[in-house]
Structure 1
Amino acid sequence: MSMQGFIRSDGRKGIRNQVVVAYLVECAHHVAREIAWPNRDQAHVIGFPGCFPNEYAQKMMERLCTHPNVGAVLLVSLGCESFNRMQLEKIVRDSGRPVETLVIQKTGGTLSAIKRGQAFVMQAIADLADTPRVPLDLSDLIVGTVCGGSDGTSGISGNPATGRAFDRLVAAGATCIFEETGELIGCEDIMSSRAATPELSVELRASVEKAARYYAALGFGSFASGNADGGLSTIEEKSMGAYAKSGASPISGLIKPGDIPTKGGLYLMDVVPDGPVQFGFPNISDNAEIVEMMASGAHMTIFVTGRGSVVGSAISPVIKVAANPEMYDRLHEDMDINAGRIISGDADIDAVGNEIVAMVESVAAGQPTKSEQLGHQEFILTYKTFEPIGPACLPA
């Protein structure tokens, strides 16, 4: 398939050309939403609701506002929050993107800020029409995957098919990211045996052990009542299904949110915070993990669901893979791929894996996903803390 991307000053290529309207505290959320609304197909709202500063949130916003799918940025500040808006604006401007900071307390209030912000968005959209396009290959792509609303079918249809797709994408030079160390408990041995180096094997195992300690301190884990209602029995059973979406390729590295892989391969993302439990449940929803993979450069996310989910994402498209054939029949208007055909005997894992790869190519070429067509732009960013990865996490 012939694909073209939007070239950015750092050499990365985007598959979309969005204007980001970013609120820097919850007090500015409404104004940001109203600014984007008239042009919501191309203007996407993201933001950090907290007033107290957080290094993780700062890094995430910097990565997201300079994501290859982003062409211009409007920062919306109330004015008295502790977010370092000047640093964020400088990073965006240094990336070559048009950027403006709108401080509501200095602009005259809600209506005045909305009017000024909408003028910026309209001008940015007009200017972005001239963004240079260049050939795009699978090796230019970063693709993430999550599974949510899992049931007993997820681990035998949707996740294995996504794993086959990941194997094909990695072989073509793409960068693929799977996540949720809290849902890999019980898979430490088989996962670490796939590490590219002995040192990385140790790091992979340690990331899952950290997740187990974190959840033990919380008193609960990543196994919900909805999973049990869907036929799953234990976190180990859920973990095996979640692990299947990583495929069988060697694991090239371990990253944390906001770390951008420098070359193709398969990467595990550790989303469980470092240090003592401070901020509660680390994956408050699937959208939080989608946001973290976007911060690491994911152009799109493959979302496998058995019980059903209707969410999408700001900035980057979400491809929905239905694992359960009955759920697909009920929610087909939100699903892109019917992996439930594996269970009904109408397709095998390889066939659906190939269908997912074809969908990745189509979305990269500009085809909207179902969640994009429906206008889904969910976004969640909360407090976390992470230590930098060590040299063993990214083998040369």
Structure 2
Amino acid sequence: MKTDSGAPISPVSMRGFLRADGRKGIRNVIAVAYLVECAHHVAREIAWPFRDQDVHLIGFPGCYPNGYAQRMMEALCTHPNVGAVLLLSLGCESFDKYGLAHVIRQSGRPVETVVIQASGGTRASIAEGQAWVRAQLPVLAAQEPVPMGVEELIVGTVCGGSDGTSGITGNPAAGRAFDQLVGEGAACIFEETGELIGCEHIMASRAVTPELGVILEESVAKAARYYATLGYGSFAAGNADGGLSTIEEKSMGAYAKSGSSPIAGLIKPGDRPPRGGLYLLDVVPDGEVRFGFPNINDTAEIAELIACGSHAVLFVTGRGSVVGSAISPVVKICANPETYRRMADDMDVDAGRILAGEATLDEVGREIRDLVVSLGHGRRTKSEELGHREFVLTYKSFEPIGPACLPAA
């Protein structure tokens, strides 16, 4: 694997953007964040002229307060891939814009808040916001990158549009990449507890402590109860059309993304892994079912992985998916060789070569690992090149994790 300039990649000398808290980002993004749906249009218009630059639109549409959303926005706006933040407020929403701005400012990042009701409305707010972004771009461009090692990476994984090939090629190949990255000291996060039903006992046997094993099993049991209450599981018509028959069968494929490393802890959205190792992200809300489906689409899960610090996210698909994400690059791993032939322009890795006997799981796993490292040298993923910056944030509720969730912290 080489950089875009043709130079060979060193596994320990990526380049990163150093933040005040000591973390390093592989991107230097300006986040334009709306704090209520009423400010979405203004925020989008501010970001649009800079769409070919690293100015990304994120936001929370709700008008009513939610601790989860507040925590998510704080984590996202202080993500190591983010260098500056512009907040867009209508003015009368319940979101704590002053608290969010304080957290961002305390992180050492430039932050500005535009309140539409106080700034003169749509046109005046757009002009004010665009002027601020325009002034920040050369400041971030002048920031010199510093050396960054693989052990400083956090990498997430998710699968979407799964079919009968996903659990044979793409997911286990992502798992092999995770094993390599964990072995080099990186932190890796897998999730989708609603798609681990049937695998909980196998997963628990990999926990670093018996107490953590119990917690892993309980997280899957919670997901099963949640979906039973909803009357709908994490199994779509497209999964069946692609050859999957049951949630347990889908779960086995989803579980393969975790690889074979010991599981070092369980975290929830907004929690960061305290050190390298493998972590399960519990995405199903705590308590009674209140806010509908735990994740309304794959993009919401990607946002939660990023809120946990993921510099990049591995996305495995069999049927085909085109989504990317704001803030952190998404690596598309295509499990199905036929899908890859149809959608090669959207895919970074052809894991379907494994089915054709053209590559082994280990070889594709190494390719994925090397591609992740190359992102730290400036390489862009297909979704980045195509301008995909999807983002979704809804209402949820979580209780804090206990010490048994992170026994090695």
* Superposition TM-score tier, normalisation by shorter sequence: over 0.9
Equivalent position amino acid for 1:343 in 2: L
Match of 1:337 among 349, 360, 369: 349
Instruction: Indicate whether 1:11 and 2:22 are aligned.
Output: yes
Residue 157 of structure 2 is matched in structure 1 by 145
Match of 1:304 among 311, 316, 330: 316
**What secondary structure, in the 3-state scheme, does the structure 2 residue paired with 1:67 have?**
coil
Residue 372 of structure 1 is matched in structure 2 by 384
Query: Separation in 2 of the partners of 1:49 and 1:83?
Result: 10
Gap regions ≥5 residues in structure 1: none
Equivalent position amino acid for 2:47 in 1: A
Residue 3 of structure 2 is matched in structure 1 by none
Query: What is the Cα deviation at residue 134 of structure 1?
Result: 1.2
Query: What is the Cα deviation at residue 3 of structure 1?
Result: 1.2
Aligned CA RMSD, in angstroms, stands at: 0.6
Instruction: Indicate whether 1:316 and 2:328 are aligned.
Output: yes
Matched residues, number:
396
**What secondary structure, in the 3-state scheme, does the structure 1 residue paired with 2:258 have?**
coil
Gap regions ≥5 residues in structure 2: 1-8
Instruction: Indicate whether 1:218 and 2:227 are aligned.
Output: no
Query: What is the Cα deviation at residue 294 of structure 1?
Result: 0.5
- Is the 1:7–1:131 Cα contact (8 Å) retained in structure 2? no
- Is the 1:180–1:271 Cα contact (8 Å) retained in structure 2? yes
Q: Deviations over 1:117-155 (max 9, x none)?
A: 001001111111222421111100000000000000000
Query: What is the Cα deviation at residue 283 of structure 1?
Result: 1.3
Instruction: Indicate whether 1:67 and 2:89 are aligned.
Output: no
Greater shift, 230-239 or 120-129, is seen at: 120-129
Q: Deviations over 1:69-106 (max 9, x none)?
A: 00000000000100000000000001110000000001
Query: Separation in 2 of the partners of 1:210 and 1:131?
Result: 45
Q: Deviations over 1:231-271 (max 9, x none)?
A: 00000000000000100000000000000111000000000
Instruction: Indicate whether 1:171 and 2:173 are aligned.
Output: no
**What secondary structure, in the 3-state scheme, does the structure 2 residue paired with 1:253 have?**
strand
Query: What is the Cα deviation at residue 364 of structure 1?
Result: 1.8
Match of 1:89 among 101, 108, 113: 101
Residue 46 of structure 2 is matched in structure 1 by 35
Query: Separation in 2 of the partners of 1:338 and 1:107?
Result: 49
Instruction: Indicate whether 1:161 and 2:173 are aligned.
Output: yes
Residue 20 of structure 1 is matched in structure 2 by 31
Residue 193 of structure 1 is matched in structure 2 by 205
Query: Separation in 2 of the partners of 1:227 and 1:343?
Result: 19
Match of 1:251 among 263, 272, 277: 263
Instruction: Indicate whether 1:382 and 2:386 are aligned.
Output: no
1:238-317 equivalent positions in 2, closer than 5 A: 238-317=250-329
Percent identity between the aligned chains?
Answer: 71
Query: Separation in 1 of the partners of 2:144 and 2:192?
Result: 36
Equivalent position amino acid for 1:282 in 2: P
Query: What is the Cα deviation at residue 176 of structure 1?
Result: 0.1
Query: Separation in 1 of the partners of 2:21 and 2:129?
Result: 27
**What secondary structure, in the 3-state scheme, does the structure 1 residue paired with 2:264 have?**
strand
Instruction: Indicate whether 1:391 and 2:403 are aligned.
Output: yes
Runs of 4+ in 1 over 2 A off after TM superposition: none
Q: Deviations over 1:169-207 (max 9, x none)?
A: 000000000000000000011100000001100100000
Query: Separation in 1 of the partners of 2:221 and 2:209?
Result: 19
